[in-house]
C-alpha cells in the first residue's frame, strides 16, 4: 500500500475552495488535469455541486481516470475512490478543508492506493508531486475566484 499526504494554504475562505472542489467542470481550470470527460462521467450535477455517488472522469494526457465521490461534508470534506484507473487500484482519497484564523483555508489532500510492482517504484514520488501541484493550483485559483 502506498500513500501521499500534501497540504496547501490559501487566503480564500473555505466556501470558495469548496465551490471549486465539488464542481468537476472547474478542475481543468486550476488543476493538472487536462479536461473533464463528460461522456465517461456519471451523475454530474448540472449546477456544479456533484454529490456522493457521482463518477467524475478526468483526462490527463491520453489517460482517463474515474473517481467516485464517497464522502461529502459541506465546506469541510470531499472523499473519493477509484471508479476506473489503469495505474492504481484500491485508491481512496480525502480532501479536508480547515478554516484559518485569518479567514483562509488549509487544504489537506491525502490518499492511499495500490499499484503493480513496476509502478510501485515510480508512482509514489510522481503522485506526491502531482497531488501537491493539485493542492497548490486549487489554493492559487481560489484566491483569484473570491
Per-residue pLDDT reduced to its tens digit, 126-136: 889 999 999 99
Nearest to 127 by CA among 139, 137, 115, 117: 115
pLDDT at 49: 92
- pLDDT tens per residue across span 79-101: 999 998 877 889 999 999 999 99
CA distance 22 to 3: 23
Domain that holds residue 35: 2-145
CA distance 63 to 97: 28
pLDDT at 120: 72
Q: How much is the average pLDDT of 24-49?
A: 93
Rounded to two decimals, the pTM is: 0.92
Segments in 9-145 forming alpha helices (H): 14-22, 27-30, 119-145
Q: How much is the average pLDDT of 45-74?
A: 93
Number of domains comprising the chain: 1
Does residue 146 have a pLDDT over 70? no
CATH number of the structural domain spanning residue 52: 3.30.530.20
CA distance 104 to 111: 23
How would residue 124 be classed by pLDDT, with cut points 50, 70 and 90?
Answer: confident
Buried-state track 96-109, b at ≥16 Cβ within 10 A, e below 16: ebeeeeeebbbbbb
Q: Name which of 57-61, 92-96, 107-111 the model is least confident about.
A: 57-61
User: Which residues make beta-bridge pairs with 67?
Assistant: 56, 82
pLDDT at 20: 95
pLDDT at 42: 94
Q: How much is the average pLDDT of 35-55?
A: 93
Amino acid at each position: 500500500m502506498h500513500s501521499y499526504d500534501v497540504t496547501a494554504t490559501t487566503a480564500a475562505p473555505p466556501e470558495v475552495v469548496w465551490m471549486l472542489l465539488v464542481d468537476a467542470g472547474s478542475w481543468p481550470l486550476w488543476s493538472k488535469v487536462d479536461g473533464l470527460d463528460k461522456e465517461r462521467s456519471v451523475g454530474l450535477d448540472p449546477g456544479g455541486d456533484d454529490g456522493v455517488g457521482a463518477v467524475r472522469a478526468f483526462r490527463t494526457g491520453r489517460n482517463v481516470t474515474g473517481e467516485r465521490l464517497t464522502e461529502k461534508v459541506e465546506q469541510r470534506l470531499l472523499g473519493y475512490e477509484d471508479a476506473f484507473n489503469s495505474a492504481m487500484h484500491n485508491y481512496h482519497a480525502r480532501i479536508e478543508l480547515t478554516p484559518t484564523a485569518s479567514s483562509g483555508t488549509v487544504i489537506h489532500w491525502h490518499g492511499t492506493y495500490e499499484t503493480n510492482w513496476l509502478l510501485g517504484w515510480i508512482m509514489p514520488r510522481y503522485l506526491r508531486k502531482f497531488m501537491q501541484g493539485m493542492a497548490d493550483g486549487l489554493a492559487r485559483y481560489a484566491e483569484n475566484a473570491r
